[in-house]
Every structure is written in structure tokens, then in C-alpha cells.
């Protein structure tokens, strides 16, 4: 057995184990080991430390991945001319992220298709770009996650993960009535962030109608609006769905083109 075949075998093992960082560092580390007369333990320790460092780097979830934003759109992509009920000055003010500094919540209320999710995700992008942790979830997802966590005895951990991000986006409240347990989970999330962290929440029902969303639990239906509205900015977006609007614009253009021939 000679040094060169040991070296080849070592490289083959590292390749088989997909330890590419260690494999890359091997020649330099061997060189160093012989020059510095490393102990038998010191050499593998150094080579494994290279690989462990690379694995740690891979595992660290980037802020973008962590945020799980549903669309790539930023606030700059929002077409204000298509949605006169959204005040560009208000959005510009939100884009400064001062609302996150003082734990103000943003409630986006309106019918489907008017850009609620786009704006909420846009705020998320702005926060991530500014180096803040943001996290997107839908009300239904959040409820399901809390339900699973309760079954697995991890409720406290899940609650902490909802408290951590500077901005928590809860999309699509009100699309489905929430069963009592889900309503309780949502209320707990909202309560623990109360005055501590911002929530951007979208809903298709005005807050006056939230009794329908939380009809299994009148106490929560009564308490939730107060928690959310206490320190908040409410954007009521009315008007047409953006897609319907562009669909209608195309149809109108076609109609005119046909009429003129
Ligand atoms: P909502 O969440 O209110 O149902 P979305 O934010 O999902 O609506 O918007 C529906 C689609 O229309 C998305 O693709 C979104 O990017 C687009 N959209 C809505 N409003 C605008 C707008 N004002 N400018 C540009 N795109 C828009
Ligand atoms: Mg939406």
C-alpha cells in the first residue's frame, strides 16, 4: 500500500460521501499536515471541519426562502392607475417600514383579485430587502400547522416561530369559516404579537363581518378585531379584479377593432 493509492482511495471515499468541500481541501490539508506534523486526530478534525462548515452554510435558510413569499412582485410592480382605491402615498409610507418599527399592523380588506396578496407580499419583499425577517402564511395553512403541532406536542415551538419574524403575513382570512380550534390558534398568534410585532393580514370580508369567520367562537369573534385594529392601518380596496379589468380592456379593444372593420 503506498501513499498515492491511499490518497486515491481517500478521494474516492469523499466523493462517494459527497463531501465535496473536504475533497477540495484535501491536497492543501495533507500538505499542511505533513509540514506542521499534525497529530493523527488533528488531520481528520481539520478536514471534517471544512465539510461541516460547508454543510452549515447550506442548511442556513436564506431570509428569502424563510419568508416563503407567494409572488416575486415588489411594491414597485403595483399598478396604481388600475386600483384608484389604493393610495400611492400610503403605500410609499408603508414601504419605509416604519410601521414595522412600531409594531403597527396592516389590514388589507377587499374582494378577490384586487391586489391584496400582491401588496402584502410586496411589503414582505421590502422587509426582507431591508434585512428584516418576514414570513408569509395563509390563515388556513397557519391553522393546519398549529393543528399538526398540537398533535405532535410541538405547539409551543410553532407559536414561537410565529412570534419570531418582524413581519408576519397572514393571507386569506375569511375565505373559509375557521373551526373553533383554528380560530383559537389564529387568535393566539395575533395576541402574542400584539404591540410587539407587525402583522399584514388580508381578508375578503370587512371586519364587521368577521363574526361569520369565527362563528364557532363568539368570544374570539368579539376580541380579534380589537387586537388587530388597536394599532393598525386599514386599506379597504374596492373595485374590479385586476385580471378581470385587463380581460375587459382586451375584450373592449377587440370589440372596437371589429366594429371599425
Ligand atoms: P387578491 O389577493 O386581492 O385576491 P392578488 O394580489 O392575488 O389579489 O392579485 C391577483 C393578480 O392580479 C395577481 O397576479 C396580481 O399580481 C395582479 N394584480 C392585482 N392588482 C394589481 C395591480 N394594481 N397592479 C399589478 N398587478 C396587479
Ligand atoms: Mg389573495
**Which one has a higher pLDDT value, 20 or 243?**
20
pLDDT digit string, tens, across residues 190-207:
999 998 999 999 999 888
What is the residue with the minimal CA distance to atom 23 of ligand 1?
79
Q: Looking at the CA of 138, which ligand is closest?
A: 2
| DSSP of 33-62 | HHHTT--TTHHHHHHHHHHHHHHHHHHSPP
Q: Which of 115, 118, 119, 103 is nearest to 228 (CA)?
A: 103
Strands 232-236 and 198-203: unpaired
How many Å apart are CA 227 and CA 191, to the nearest integer?
A: 7
Distance 83 CA to ligand 1 centre (A): 10
Helices 155-163 and 139-151: crossing angle, nearest 10°? 150
Structure-block grid coordinates of residue 191: 395576541
Ligand 1 neighbourhood includes 66 CB (under 6 angstroms):
no
Q: What are phi and psi of 70, to 5 degrees?
A: -80, -10
Q: What is the pLDDT of residue 1?
A: 56
Q: Looking at the CA of 170, which ligand is closest?
A: 2
Q: Looking at the CA of 242, which ligand is closest?
A: 1
pLDDT digit string, tens, across residues 76-87:
999 999 999 999
Q: Which of 250, 199, 259 is nearest to 225 (CA)?
A: 199
Ligand 1 neighbourhood includes 118 CB (under 6 angstroms):
yes
3-class state of residue 139 by DSSP = helix
How many Å apart are CA 75 and CA 189, to the nearest integer?
A: 26
Q: What angle do CA 214, 228, 135 make, to 5 degrees?
A: 95
Ligand 1 neighbourhood includes 113 CB (under 6 angstroms):
yes
By most ligand atoms within 8 Å of CB, the mutation choice from 71, 85, 109, 113 for ligand 1 is 113
Q: Which of 91, 160, 82, 155 is nearest to 120 (CA)?
A: 91
3-class state of residue 135 by DSSP = strand
CB atoms within 10 A of CB 62: 8
How many Å apart are CA 16 and CA 220, to the nearest integer?
A: 56
Q: Which atom of ligand 1 is nearest to the CA of 172?
A: 2
By most ligand atoms within 8 Å of CB, the mutation choice from 242, 244, 245 for ligand 1 is 242
Q: Which of 62, 107, 66 is nearest to 198 (CA)?
A: 107
pLDDT digit string, tens, across residues 4-49:
899 999 999 999 999 999 999 999 999 999 999 999 999 999 999 9
Ligand 1 neighbourhood includes 43 CB (under 6 angstroms):
no
Q: What is the pLDDT of residue 252?
A: 80
What is the residue with the minimal CA distance to atom 5 of ligand 1?
115
Binned at pLDDT 50, 70 and 90, residue 212 comes out as: confident
Cα dist. 157→129, 143, 177 in Å?
A: 26, 14, 26
Q: Which of 164, 194, 175 is nearest to 66 (CA)?
A: 164
Amino acid at each position: 500500500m503506498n501513499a498515492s493509492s491511499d490518497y486515491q482511495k481517500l478521494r474516492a471515499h469523499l466523493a462517494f460521501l459527497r463531501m465535496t468541500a473536504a475533497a477540495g481541501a484535501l491536497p492543501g490539508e495533507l500538505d499542511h499536515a505533513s509540514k506542521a506534523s499534525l497529530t493523527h486526530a488533528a488531520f481528520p478534525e481539520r478536514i471534517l471541519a471544512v465539510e461541516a462548515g460547508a454543510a452549515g452554510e447550506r442548511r442556513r435558510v436564506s431570509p428569502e426562502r424563510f419568508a416563503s413569499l407567494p409572488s416575486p412582485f415588489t411594491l414597485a410592480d403595483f399598478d396604481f392607475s388600475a386600483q384608484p382605491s389604493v393610495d400611492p402615498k400610503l403605500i410609499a409610507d408603508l414601504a419605509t417600514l416604519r410601521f414595522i418599527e412600531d409594531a403597527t399592523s396592516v389590514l388589507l380588506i377587499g374582494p378577490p383579485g384586487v391586489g391584496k396578496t400582491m401588496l402584502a407580499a410586496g411589503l414582505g419583499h421590502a422587509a426582507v430587502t431591508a434585512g428584516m425577517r418576514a414570513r408569509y402564511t395563509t390563515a388556513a395553512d397557519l391553522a393546519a400547522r398549529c393543528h399538526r403541532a398540537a398533535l405532535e406536542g410541538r405547539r409551543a415551538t410553532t407559536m414561537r416561530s410565529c412570534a419570531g419574524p418582524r413581519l408576519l403575513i397572514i393571507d386569506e382570512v375569511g375565505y373559509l369559516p375557521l373551526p373553533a380550534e383554528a380560530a383559537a390558534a389564529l387568535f393566539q398568534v395575533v395576541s402574542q404579537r400584539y404591540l410587539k410585532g407587525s402583522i399584514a393580514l388580508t381578508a375578503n370580508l370587512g371586519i364587521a363581518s368577521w363574526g361569520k369567520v369565527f362563528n364557532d367562537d363568539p368570544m374570539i369573534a368579539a376580541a380579534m378585531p380589537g387586537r388587530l385594529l388597536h394599532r393598525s392601518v386599514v386599506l379597504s380596496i374596492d373595485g374590479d379584479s385586476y385580471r378581470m379589468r385587463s380581460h375587459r380592456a382586451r375584450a373592449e379593444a377587440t370589440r372596437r377593432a371589429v366594429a371599425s372593420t
